[in-house]
Structure 1
Amino acid sequence: MGGARGRWWWRTYALVALLVVGGVLYAHGVDRVDEIGKVLGVVAALLGLPPLLLTALRLQQGSPEPADAGPGGVCDRLAVAVRRQWEAEAEVRRLSDPYPLPVAWTAADPALTEEWSLIRSIAEEVPGGPVNDPARWADGPEGLSGSGNDIEQVLLYRVPTRRLVVLGEPGAGKTVVLVRLLLALLDPAHRADGGPVPFLFALASFDPAREDVRAWMVRELTREHPALAAPAPGFGTRPGGPGRTLAHELVDRRLIVPLFDGLDELPRALRPLALEAINQALAPKQALVLTCRTAEYAQALVPDGDHAAVPLNAAAGIELVPLDAGTAIPYLSRDSGGGRAPGAQRWMRVAEALQDRTSPLAQALSTPLGLFMARTIYNPRPGGGTGERPHPDELVDTEFPSRAAVDNHLLGAFVRAAYRPHPARPCRWSPQQAERYLAFLAHHLETTLGGTPNLAWWQLSARFPTHRLVLVLGSWAALLGWPFLGVGRALLAGGLVCLAAGAGTLFTPVHERTGPSAGVGWYPNVFVGAGAVAGALAGLALGLPFGGRNGMEAALAAGLVGAVAGGLGAYIPTAHAAFSPSDLLVRDRRAFLGLWWAGGLPAAAAIGLGTGLELGLAAGLAFGTFVATGGALWWRFATGRFLLAVRGHLPWRLMSFLTDAHAARGVLRRAGTVYQFRHLGIQRHLARRHRTARPR
């Protein structure tokens, strides 16, 4: 209903504006080109003013959070969004299909954790007393052993300080344990209204040598939930700008329970620094969980030169136990039909081979990651039959010299198996194409972005220098203008777009590292006055050659446009929704078009009133491009994707490809507004394949 009313209002308004202009033309007549330009300028101004006003009203009325919501209300909204996000992600990752794997653990090596007596002493002496009931504390590290859903009992009740290190081998299920823990902590049985919210942080994006832990946590929170970039109550900062935000408040009030995933994904030299940074920033009363590979954690605690051994303060530790044949084979058999189904019988020889727990095959299939890849490669899908899949017997018939050889075999076959044709689920990309595209993306993460696991669409353009992106944008403008303007004027328009876009990138409030805009809004700030002065001077300079009166008209109109443009900025959404990457791309594209329209149309009208049609259109094109390229990243993504698709590195429909790789293939996982490879081992394997592959 609202959409129909909106369309009717716009049609009525446009008709009235045209009738007014037509009446003026009929009454006075127009017989000169410059007067025609003025009339068209009036039309543009009449049609352009309402969207600017509506945008401003929408942004002023749609504040990110009610002023009286308080930290507790913010936490409750965030908890709902986080829970929905990870419930959907658990479904995509098939964590409960065919049933949850019974991952078990025992107490970690005492040499890698604090002494139990010290942990108890710290918990008893923290200001305000213990954070949980001492009667439920474990008597010692051996009391931490458990499996499955016991993990929340371990963190909340058995560990006195609620600080835990989860260790295990590569692919042992550390992230799976964190996801289960996060969902359990968000259950109403464990979380009170207004209570802290667990949040999973990927440590691979943290650089302890350059960034504070709290600042990094704030950045990650606002990246996944842009509404948390809104000003905190009592701090009159501009949304999205510098100042104290809701994310700062949540972190400082200890209303975020950090679940730090993947200390081992940092370079070896940075792991001790990361532990030291966490110890300094987060007090012992702050509950937290950290995961790491066992060997890498032990290395981080070995003194190295000037760095002393720095364990995680007041933290107990558990180590995940490898899965045995009694767990692996029933899981694989049940996934292929169970019982006496033909698919289940395919695993009989593998079951016999797994009895030797020291064999490379048994070691490779002792982790949830190994089982997931094996089921993807060898188990038939419903409706696909068994003939489309290789037989699991090849794992027995092939002589693997080491576990690494088995892992490489599974990693090499996993992507192509995920994209194998299926009659009930067609795919527009062949297995070879998908593997090539994913290998390039993995190489991009490893080289261009320094090994981060976060695959963000707005960072694809980081592979190219800005001037190349600007030239592509100008070329597009010239090609689009060619049929209407002719070759000469189209080239001039392309050059004008290049100059404006280049200037816009110099004053841009967003770039590949900070992230895209969630929308367009108007906010009073110091740039409103500066924009008014700059616009007035520009209008005066362009209008004076056509007469003093024209110069004053152009100065006044351009000053108004500059004031409006100076207040344009990023819009912070009202709800704590967990945006998907595609959602954020759509919002940023709308922000780009909105900025271009809001900046270009009034500028064309303002300058056209005093100088005529051609200069007005040129000014609108330049100013709109300047504002849009400085306030949104969609144009960078579009030009970067174009260059990469032309070279065959990526598909033309990249976002559809990424969505399919996540939701339908299980190759990617989603963390808020970015994608990640399901496991860092998959990312690094594909990156190596890209480096060794022959260039196309």
Structure 2
Amino acid sequence: MTNQFGALLRRLRRQAGLTQERLSERSGIGVRTIRGFETGERTDPRVATVRMLADALALAPADRDELLAAAAGPTGPEPSAPPEAGGTGHVSEHRPEPGASAGRSRSALHDTLAETADQLALTVGTRWQREEEQRQIQDPFPLPVRWQAADEHLMDHWANIRRAPAGERPGPLDLAGELDGILDAYQRLPSGRLVVLGRAGSGKTILTVRFVLDLLRKRARANAVPVIFNLGSWSPTTTSLREWLTGQLVRDYPGLAAPGPGGSTLAAALVEADLVLPVLDGFDEIAHGLHRAALEALNATTLPMLLTSRPAEYAAAVAGTDVLTSAACVELVDLTLTDVVNYLPRTTRRTSAEATVWDPVLAELRERPDSAASVNLAAVLTTPLMVMLARTIYSNTPDHDPATLLDTGRFGTPEALEDHLLDSFIPTVYRYQPDTGQHRPRRRQWDPDRAEHWLGYLAGHLHRLGTHDLAWWQLGTSMRRSSRAAAVGVLAGLLIGIVEWLVAGVLGGFLGGFDVGFGVWLRYSLADALIVGGTAGLAFGSMHWLTSRPGGTTFEPSRVHIQFRGSTRKVRRRLARRIVVGLAGGLMFGVGYGLVFGGVQGILSGYLETWLRAGLIDASVWGLVFGLGAGLVYGLMSWLEAPLDIRLAASPTELLNTNRRTVGLQLLVWVPVFGLTVVLGGVLSVALLQGILGPLVFTVLGGIVWGLVGGIGGGIGYAISLTAWGRWVALARIWLPLRGRLPLAVTDFLDDAYQRGVLRQAGAVYQFRHARLQDHLTNGFRARQRKTHSRKSRRRKPD
């Protein structure tokens, strides 16, 4: 920030007739901070701080824009005017009108971010409208999610919530309301901060979706865009809130990775400009032990927000530190029997003129409220989650009678009833497909037991990773790192070995290799393919192990697509890192192949010393060739990338398809360039090392063979071991299905689970419809695994 901001702030404050102390009272910003701005001692005010000052000064739009532009600082040197006619030749400094350059800079910045925010708003609205329809929230009408004010000790002073000047003590606002009034309740809070508490299944996610859609419908151009973020993946001790929000935006909206104003990404610019309103869902899902740190990190920002949590976790965090600054707090209340009676009959067909399958059950609840069956069922049907499960299992399934829920012999407690509903959900949605009356393709049929097994594995996978985000590029990453590297290395080695046999063996045979006899040629070609494949598999498996972190999050989907032109905006650090990785991998393969090939030939021929010497020479030559070639080509990839379209709405399937196309285009570049590099590198290396390492021979046929093997095989190895899509193929499409953990058509299975309402989409990832369902599936999968291990142990015991 330059002194222009401080001088402008002082002038506007004096025009408003305010002292620094009075401006501090109005804005809620410390008087020391304001004094530091005006004297130039404090720099880089956040956009939110400048806006609070502008609000307190009640600035006109033009003055407000000028203050924001001054806070952004200059964008470049001011131009100089030409020498005056007849002058001495000295250049006189050009002085533009005050605010002219800043105004142009502000206008360009404002237009760019406004357009980006509008595109983001359209994408967010489309996504959550589709999600609301998928979950049948409006069919036939939304359940009446209600709330009331939470305990006073869980919210800040009303003076802070209402932004009252010092000395004033305004009273509380009436915060009680229902689902369709959530936006009004939020907008009555001057602080723009609201905490929503509710127990599991009480409707917190339904409320956040409705809040986002209602706010988007009334949003004015260039206003903040509400975006839902699941807090389960945030580590507040290592990542600031704004940095984490930026990362989540780039993951779910890849186009926001494009360069933005000031050299940052568009995502970072939107967050810093407060053009993203965080709707933070699941404070309770943050890793155990980090809730206090998370609350402290939230209090370190001035961002407006809506935060949801289960009551116990939030109350514990408040007891350990403080309330969320300037935040009001409400708590969701249970559904009533009247709510259930009004809702469930309208979700099913009539069995007669006025009767439905729910009528006998609801009559029991109304007429005998004190019976054991009524008490248990009434206690269960107090949350939207359980009501929606009951609807799914009994409303449109002719072979299921809801009167079963009144059987106290089977379900003696409310907990037993809840377990029954959770147990029955997966078999129901996979066994029965309702007739919607619309012309839609028939769903693929999955065996219910196998589907539950696969979903249980996925739930356990998320539990081991400590997240609720089911990302396709992380499937298999809960395995041990050594197991992942082994699976990747075996697949890469097998494919490269096949390429070596087809190119060097078959092609070489047709070009003269058959002259030695078919049997000799076959043994030699298979041995060579085994050596090349084994060495390459070891090299690429090792590279995968070295570049993978224990959590398996190193390889993420490409946020870019290939374009065949250079770019001066690429970061040199990424180029250098890729060159180093490629150099190490190529050197490992070249040296390994030379040594192994020489050793094997020496053992088979009986001339071990001679062949070891030849192996050392081959290791030197091929290590140099493959190391430099792989480093240069892998680095070249960073100069052939361009940002994705900002309007791209990333769903898991879209991101997977985009990443597959990216890898395919990379291979189209890699194969010919790396192949040619190997040929030219071989020629140059032989020429340079001729005489130093003894007489060296590099034939045209050998150059062609190694160029093809290096280009095709190296490209395959790179794709399998060093890209998110390749690891997805190796682990999720091959390894895990072979072990029975997932189906072969895992993409179809995940999309089908979303269509059936088992999963939901949250940007580029899936999530289980509810954390309670995920936990239930995890426990069921573990119980089945224990039974299987127990049976195997009994079989091994001697009689």
TM-score (norm 1): 0.76
Query: What is the deviation of 1:181?
Result: 0.1
Q: Which runs of no fewer than 5 residues in structure 2 stay unpaired?
A: 1-107, 436-441, 506-524, 594-613, 615-620, 684-697, 790-799
Are the equivalent residues in 1 in contact too, given 2:253–2:650 (CA < 8 A)?
A: yes
Are the equivalent residues in 2 in contact too, given 1:365–1:371 (CA < 8 A)?
A: yes
| AA in 2 matched with 1:461 | G
The one of 737, 741, 756 aligned to 1:649: 741
Where does residue 6 of structure 1 map in the other structure? none
Query: What is the deviation of 1:374?
Result: 0.4
Where does residue 250 of structure 1 map in the other structure? 270
Are the equivalent residues in 2 in contact too, given 1:198–1:257 (CA < 8 A)?
A: yes
- Asked if 1:150 corresponds to 2:181, the answer is yes
Where does residue 636 of structure 1 map in the other structure? 727
Are the equivalent residues in 2 in contact too, given 1:595–1:631 (CA < 8 A)?
A: no
Where does residue 317 of structure 1 map in the other structure? 329
Where does residue 153 of structure 2 map in the other structure? 111
Are the equivalent residues in 2 in contact too, given 1:558–1:603 (CA < 8 A)?
A: no
Describe how 1:338-487 pairs up with structure 2 within 5 A.
340=352, 344-353=356-365, 356=369, 359-380=375-396, 386-387=398-399, 390-399=400-409, 400-422=411-433, 425-447=442-464, 449-450=465-466, 452-464=467-479, 465=481, 466-468=484-486, 469-478=488-497, 485=505, 486-487=525-526
- Asked if 1:501 corresponds to 2:540, the answer is yes
- Asked if 1:667 corresponds to 2:758, the answer is yes
**Cα 1:107–1:629, aligned 2, differ >3 Å: closer, same or farther?**
same
Higher mean alpha-carbon deviation, 463-472 vs 92-101, is at 463-472
Where does residue 180 of structure 1 map in the other structure? 210
Are the equivalent residues in 1 in contact too, given 2:489–2:721 (CA < 8 A)?
A: no
**Cα 1:618–1:576, aligned 2, differ >3 Å: closer, same or farther?**
same
Where does residue 620 of structure 1 map in the other structure? 711
Query: What is the deviation of 1:146?
Result: 1.2
Query: What is the deviation of 1:68?
Result: 8.5
Supply the distance in 2 between the matched residues of 1:462 and 1:118 (Cα, whole angstroms).
Answer: 45
Where does residue 193 of structure 1 map in the other structure? 221
Query: What is the deviation of 1:367?
Result: 1.0
Query: What is the deviation of 1:401?
Result: 4.1
- Asked if 1:329 corresponds to 2:341, the answer is yes
Describe how 1:39-78 pairs up with structure 2 within 5 A.
69-78=111-120
**Cα 1:123–1:84, aligned 2, differ >3 Å: closer, same or farther?**
farther
Supply the distance in 2 between the matched residues of 1:512 and 1:532 (Cα, whole angstroms).
Answer: 21
Query: What is the deviation of 1:627?
Result: 4.5
Where does residue 17 of structure 1 map in the other structure? none
Cα deviation 1:320-367 (Å, max 9, x = unaligned)? 121112111221110102595687234422442267398231121111
Are the equivalent residues in 2 in contact too, given 1:458–1:636 (CA < 8 A)?
A: yes
Where does residue 263 of structure 1 map in the other structure? 283
Q: Secondary structure at the match of 1:408?
A: helix
Where does residue 689 of structure 1 map in the other structure? 780
Supply the distance in 2 between the matched residues of 1:295 and 1:560 (Cα, whole angstroms).
Answer: 58
Supply the distance in 2 between the matched residues of 1:557 and 1:512 (Cα, whole angstroms).
Answer: 28
Where does residue 517 of structure 1 map in the other structure? 558
Are the equivalent residues in 1 in contact too, given 2:473–2:725 (CA < 8 A)?
A: yes
The one of 653, 666, 669 aligned to 1:595: 666
Are the equivalent residues in 2 in contact too, given 1:217–1:251 (CA < 8 A)?
A: yes
Are the equivalent residues in 1 in contact too, given 2:501–2:526 (CA < 8 A)?
A: yes
| AA in 1 matched with 2:401 | H
Higher mean alpha-carbon deviation, 255-264 vs 510-519, is at 510-519
Supply the distance in 1 between the matched residues of 2:434 and 2:125 (Cα, whole angstroms).
Answer: 34
Query: What is the deviation of 1:673?
Result: 0.6
Supply the distance in 2 between the matched residues of 1:529 and 1:119 (Cα, whole angstroms).
Answer: 50
Are the equivalent residues in 2 in contact too, given 1:214–1:251 (CA < 8 A)?
A: yes
Where does residue 52 of structure 1 map in the other structure? none
| AA in 2 matched with 1:474 | G
Where does residue 193 of structure 2 map in the other structure? 163
Are the equivalent residues in 2 in contact too, given 1:343–1:379 (CA < 8 A)?
A: no
The one of 312, 315, 329 aligned to 1:298: 315
Where does residue 54 of structure 1 map in the other structure? none
**Cα 1:558–1:603, aligned 2, differ >3 Å: closer, same or farther?**
farther
Are the equivalent residues in 2 in contact too, given 1:333–1:344 (CA < 8 A)?
A: yes
Q: Secondary structure at the match of 2:261?
A: coil
Q: Secondary structure at the match of 1:151?
A: helix
Are the equivalent residues in 2 in contact too, given 1:336–1:343 (CA < 8 A)?
A: no
**Cα 1:206–1:529, aligned 2, differ >3 Å: closer, same or farther?**
closer
| AA in 1 matched with 2:710 | A
The one of 567, 574, 594 aligned to 2:636: 567
Query: What is the deviation of 1:626?
Result: 5.5
| AA in 1 matched with 2:256 | L
Higher mean alpha-carbon deviation, 478-487 vs 75-84, is at 478-487
Supply the distance in 1 between the matched residues of 2:630 and 2:500 (Cα, whole angstroms).
Answer: 25
Supply the distance in 2 between the matched residues of 1:472 and 1:559 (Cα, whole angstroms).
Answer: 24
Cα deviation 1:433-490 (Å, max 9, x = unaligned)? 111110010001101x12x000001101313324212223322443576677453233
Describe how 1:14-25 pairs up with structure 2 within 5 A.
none
Where does residue 133 of structure 2 map in the other structure? 91
Where does residue 36 of structure 2 map in the other structure? none
| AA in 2 matched with 1:428 | Q
Aligned-pair RMSD on alpha carbons?
3.5
The one of 212, 217, 232 aligned to 1:204: 232
Cα deviation 1:478-529 (Å, max 9, x = unaligned)? 3576677453233234225324524653786996356211433554554769
- Higher RCO (CA < 8 A, seq sep 6+): 1
**Cα 1:480–1:269, aligned 2, differ >3 Å: closer, same or farther?**
same
Q: Secondary structure at the match of 1:410?
A: helix
Instruction: State, as a whole percentage, how many aligned pairs show the same letter.
Output: 35
**Cα 1:602–1:69, aligned 2, differ >3 Å: closer, same or farther?**
farther
Are the equivalent residues in 1 in contact too, given 2:544–2:721 (CA < 8 A)?
A: yes
Are the equivalent residues in 1 in contact too, given 2:283–2:309 (CA < 8 A)?
A: yes
Supply the distance in 2 between the matched residues of 1:532 and 1:217 (Cα, whole angstroms).
Answer: 30
Query: What is the deviation of 1:689?
Result: 0.5
| AA in 2 matched with 1:79 | A
Supply the distance in 2 between the matched residues of 1:509 and 1:230 (Cα, whole angstroms).
Answer: 26
**Cα 1:166–1:620, aligned 2, differ >3 Å: closer, same or farther?**
same
Q: Which runs of no fewer than 5 residues in structure 1 stay unpaired?
A: 1-65, 126-133, 236-243, 303-307, 546-551
Are the equivalent residues in 2 in contact too, given 1:350–1:395 (CA < 8 A)?
A: no
**Cα 1:564–1:124, aligned 2, differ >3 Å: closer, same or farther?**
farther
Where does residue 61 of structure 1 map in the other structure? none
Supply the distance in 2 between the matched residues of 1:138 and 1:674 (Cα, whole angstroms).
Answer: 44
TM-score (norm 2): 0.67
Supply the distance in 2 between the matched residues of 1:618 and 1:340 (Cα, whole angstroms).
Answer: 73
Query: Would you say how many aligned residue pairs link Structure 1 and Structure 2?
Result: 582
| AA in 2 matched with 1:204 | G
Cα deviation 1:104-129 (Å, max 9, x = unaligned)? 21111222212323422x3557xxxx
